[in-house]
Amino acid sequence: MKYLFKLAIANIRRATRRTVLTFFILGFGISLYIFLESFISGWENSSFDNLINFQTGHIKVYNGQYDSEKPYILSNLIENHGKVIGELYTKPYVTGAAARVHFLGELDNMQDAVAVVVTGIDFINDPKVYTLTNYLIEGSFDPSGVIVGKTLADDLGLGIGDYCFISLRKEQGAYVSAEKQITGIVYTTDIAVNGSSVFLDIDEVLSLYGVNGVTEIGIKTADIEKSALHTAELIKEYPGLKIEHWKEAAKQTIQMMEMERKFDGIIILFIIVIALVGIINTMLMSVYEKQREIGTLKAMGMTDAEVMRLFVLEGALIGFLGGLCGIILGIMLNWYFAEIGIDFTKIWGSDMDFGSSVPAGVLKSSWMIAPYISGLLLGIISSVAASYYPAKKTSRMQPMECLRVK
């Protein structure tokens, strides 16, 4: 086997230019695979963080008859939310529980008005579940005023200290309105929060709308990894409520990521096929150029199986070198996007709203060991598979047939 290994290395070194080109093509495909896997993982992590930090917490509690297709109707409200929140805080695994209420409304700067989602929040408990306060760039988290997203504030020319009107339309059609002062501006990683949300004290929103219930209760647990187990426990304890783990709320995002992975898989497959064609071509050329040598080796006693192993080993070495090349290129490519990232706000503008599945600001890829290992294995396995036909063809050649080649 040691002799075959040395012979395979000699064969590779003999056609250096062609071999190097082959494993560079394979390496490019593997590096692209590594980058896409890392970037999609970073995209997923950022999207899930947005969902958890701004919308769901680890667990979300709704009314038992909650209609997700009509999220703003009054029949969705939880009437006994104060009691439920009090009970939740007795659970050892609950570190935070906060109620929110959502209604459609308008924000008016006395010249223009835009449609917004008016969210009533508990200014004391909300920071225990959500991270809105971490993204306050101007003003303060003051329950006496209104908190708005930076994109929305820029669109309406509003700043700290300015007054605006917030109007809500009740289900019966009547409008209620309140004049409020801008006390805080946030710029988050969630485009929807930046461009279409305003935050008021929850008691003021309920009083303005004339209701007592809340739309939802968000829960933060001590360990997110155990939150699915805690969700199951709460479902049993509160059969009259609809309780969801954050991953249930992320179904659409997860489905979109799966579609992205399938599309990326097609691209990678196309590149790998090109690389495999190159490997097959390299091996066939190697067989053609070495027919006399193969005949001599067979005449000296080398078996068909040994000849086949020689060329499969040669293909495996090309795959290994291509895999190493892909890992090096993948590390170099991923380093930039993991450390610097892509600022999507500069790409599509701060006023574009694609939902929570598309993060605002800088998106960074992640570092994972799995793509590098699978990329190396992919290079070796695909190269061995591509070498099989030329190796089989070579092993069937007769010594006299090989020696007659000029």
- C-alpha–C-alpha distance, residues 226 and 102, integer Å: 28
Higher pLDDT, 39 or 16: 39
Looking at residues 351-368, what average pLDDT do you find? Answer: 59
Task: Tell me whether strands 163-169 and 113-121 are parallel, antiparallel or unpaired.
Answer: unpaired
Give the amino acid at 171. E
Which residue has 């800088």 as its token pair? 362
- C-alpha–C-alpha distance, residues 132 and 52, integer Å: 11
Q: Is the dihedral of CA 140, 142, 146, 149 positive or negative?
A: positive
Higher pLDDT, 27 or 200: 200
Q: How far does the chain reach from its first CA to its final CA, in angstroms? A: 30
Looking at residues 75-79, what average pLDDT do you find? Answer: 85
User: At residue 11, does pLDDT exceed 80?
Assistant: no
Higher pLDDT, 281 or 7: 281
- C-alpha–C-alpha distance, residues 138 and 119, integer Å: 19
Confidence grade of residue 344 (pLDDT, cut at 50, 70, 90): low
User: At residue 280, does pLDDT exceed 50?
Assistant: yes
- C-alpha–C-alpha distance, residues 370 and 124, integer Å: 42
Phi and psi torsions of 238, nearest 5°: -125, 75
| pLDDT given at position 352 | 47
| pLDDT given at position 354 | 43
**pLDDT digit string (tens) for 197-221?**
999 999 998 888 888 889 999 999 9
pTM over 0.95: no
| pLDDT given at position 335 | 86
Query: Highest mean pLDDT: which of 46-60, 222-236, 355-369?
Result: 222-236
| CB distance 264 to 40 below 8 Å | yes
**pLDDT digit string (tens) for 124-135?**
999 999 999 999
- C-alpha–C-alpha distance, residues 64 and 55, integer Å: 19
DSSP characters over 55-96: IIBSEEEEETT--TTSTTSGGG-BTTHHHHHHHHTTSTTEEE
DSSP characters over 355-374: -TTSB-SEE-----SHHHHH
User: At residue 97, does pLDDT exceed 90?
Assistant: yes
Q: Which of 266-270, 351-355, 360-364 has the lowest mean pLDDT?
A: 351-355
Task: Tell me whether strands 216-221 and 241-245 are parallel, antiparallel or unpaired.
Answer: unpaired
- C-alpha–C-alpha distance, residues 318 and 314, integer Å: 6
User: Beta partners for 182?
Assistant: 146
Stated as kind and residue range, the H or E segment containing 216 is: strand 216-221
Q: What rounded mean pLDDT belongs to the chain?
A: 80
| pLDDT given at position 54 | 86
Which residue has 């209104």 as its token pair? 146
| pLDDT given at position 122 | 93
| pLDDT given at position 220 | 94
In this prediction, what percent of the chain has a pLDDT beyond 70? 77
**pLDDT digit string (tens) for 98-111?**
999 998 889 988 88
Looking at residues 237-261, what average pLDDT do you find? Answer: 80
| pLDDT given at position 312 | 77
Q: Which of 61-65, 80-84, 174-178, 183-187 has the lowest mean pLDDT?
A: 174-178
Looking at residues 168-186, what average pLDDT do you find? Answer: 83
User: At residue 22, does pLDDT exceed 80?
Assistant: no
Looking at residues 54-79, what average pLDDT do you find? Answer: 85
Q: Which of 26-30, 137-141, 148-152, 216-220 has the lowest mean pLDDT?
A: 26-30
Higher pLDDT, 74 or 239: 239
| pLDDT given at position 269 | 72
- C-alpha–C-alpha distance, residues 368 and 313, integer Å: 29
User: At residue 5, does pLDDT exceed 90?
Assistant: no
User: At residue 65, does pLDDT exceed 80?
Assistant: yes
Looking at residues 236-241, what average pLDDT do you find? Answer: 90
User: At residue 59, does pLDDT exceed 90?
Assistant: yes
Ranges of beta strands (E only) in 111-205 are 113-121, 136-139, 146-149, 163-169, 175-186, 197-201
Q: Which of 186-190, 192-196, 227-231, 386-390 has the lowest mean pLDDT?
A: 386-390
| pLDDT given at position 249 | 74
Phi and psi torsions of 245, nearest 5°: -75, 155
User: At residue 359, does pLDDT exceed 70?
Assistant: no
